[in-house]
Structure 1
Amino acid sequence: MKVNTYFIATLLFLTSYAAHSNGESEEQLQQRNQHFSQHYQSVCSENYKFINLTSSIDDHVQEELLINGVHNVNVKLGSEGHGYLQLAIPEWGTKLIVGHPVDTSVSILGAGMYVAKSKNIFCDELNMVSHFEIHEWGSYTLKVVAKKDSDLNISIIKIVD
């Protein structure tokens, strides 16, 4: 009986660790979701605007997204499995939340990431969120990496303190 109890406890620990692979405890996860509940719930939108991503970082300036609120976008990745989008950040000290599917990686080149892939308990599809801080206004590049030829929904939300 002790072996079964030990096995079940180990299995529960590993399941919990896999669910919070960024190192957050269940309590930290719940607190973060409660604190950002309004922002995390806006990630769950059904209305997405299609935006072209480029497969080359050199071509990403073809379209620019002005970050001034909530932007729910649908993107299609090409055969390379990655894409780029230019973001226009109009203010100093901007904080962003990017909602994305679990099997997707997002980064903003030149920005600081202070939460990587935390679980969003409010959404089924965009169930992961990453937080970024951008210190200076200007143009920044969002990089999205997922399976080749993926059709993805991504939310970019400016946090207003």
Structure 2
Amino acid sequence: MSTSSNAVAKPASAGEIQGRNQFYAARYQAACDVPLQTVQVAGSLADAPQLEAIFTDTLGYQFTLNANGDAYLQLAIKEWNEKMLLMTNSDVTIAMNGADITGTKITNQQCPDLKGEIYHINTHEWGSYVLHIHGQPNQSVSVRIVKEVVAVK
């Protein structure tokens, strides 16, 4: 079942957390291993297009939320029907208009020391999508994104 980013998505149940950690173990581990680059992100939706990041296989950013506890990161998605795993701090929430969030706040058991939670995100078309991260004012946040499935070549 897909959950629109505009709806309030409930956190995953214990069974869902366990099941997804088993099924996606290699991809969840890949999210743990994404190196972080310290960046300045937009503090408003209007400024997000100025700092667009191109998502291909992985993306890893560390940044500080603004005084209102918000950050906006515009992602350029190059594939139709892109499915991504996004890992971020357990004490923040995310939204991405135009995309479906099909798994929410799933504790990543592959790297418990990072205290990260996974979101499963599906974009339907290629184009730009704005990721909105909300937490505490001036909070340090990390975002690691990997493809949900790696194509076999």
Residue 136 (1) aligns with residue 125 (2): yes
| Equivalent position of 1:13 in the other structure | none
- Given the superposition, is the C-alpha separation of residues 67 and 143 from structure 1 closer, same or farther in structure 2, using an over 3 Å criterion? same
SS at match of 2:43: coil
**Which runs of 4 or more aligned residues in structure 1 lie more than 3 Å from their structure 2 counterparts after TM superposition?**
none
Count of aligned pairs:
140
AA matched with 1:59: D
User: Alpha carbon RMSD of aligned pairs, Å?
Assistant: 1.6
| Percentage of pairs with the same residue | 29
Q: Counterpart in 2 of 1:8?
A: none
Aligned AA (1:128):
E
Q: Counterpart of 2:53 in structure 1: which amino acid?
A: L
Tell me how far apart the structure 1 counterparts of residues 66 and 95 of structure 2 sit (CA, whole Å): 18
1:157/1:23 Cα in 2 relative to 1: closer, same or farther (>3 Å)? Answer: closer
Gaps in structure 1 of 5+ consecutive residues = 1-20
Q: Which has the higher contact order (CA 8 A, sep 6+)?
A: 2
User: Equivalents in 2 of 1:153, 1:126: separation in Å?
Assistant: 11
Looking at structure 1, the residues matched to 115 and 124 of structure 2 have their Cα atoms a distance apart, in angstroms, of: 26
* 1:80 aligned residue: 68
Counterpart in the other structure of 1:116 = 104
After superposing the two structures, state which structure 1 stretch, 37-46 or 95-104, moved more. Answer: 37-46
Q: Which residue of 2 aligns with 1:148?
A: 137
- For 1:85, give the aligned amino acid: L
The residue correspondences of 1:45-124 to structure 2 (distance < 5 A) are 45=33, 47-123=35-111, 124=113
Q: Tell me if structure 2 keeps the 8 A contact 1:81–1:145.
A: yes
TM-score by length of 1: 0.80
- Paired residue type of 2:88: H
Note the C-alpha offset of 1:126: 4.2
TM (norm. structure 2) is: 0.84
Cα distance in structure 2, aligned partners of 1:103 and 1:96 = 20
Q: Is the 8 A contact 2:34 2:144 kept in 1?
A: no
- Quick check: 1:97–1:129 contact (8 Å CA) kept in 2? yes
Any gaps of 5 or more consecutive residues in structure 2? Answer: 1-9
CA spacing shift, 1:23–1:42, aligned 2, 3 Å: closer
Q: Deviations over 1:115-147 (max 9, x none)?
A: 011111112224210111000100000111111
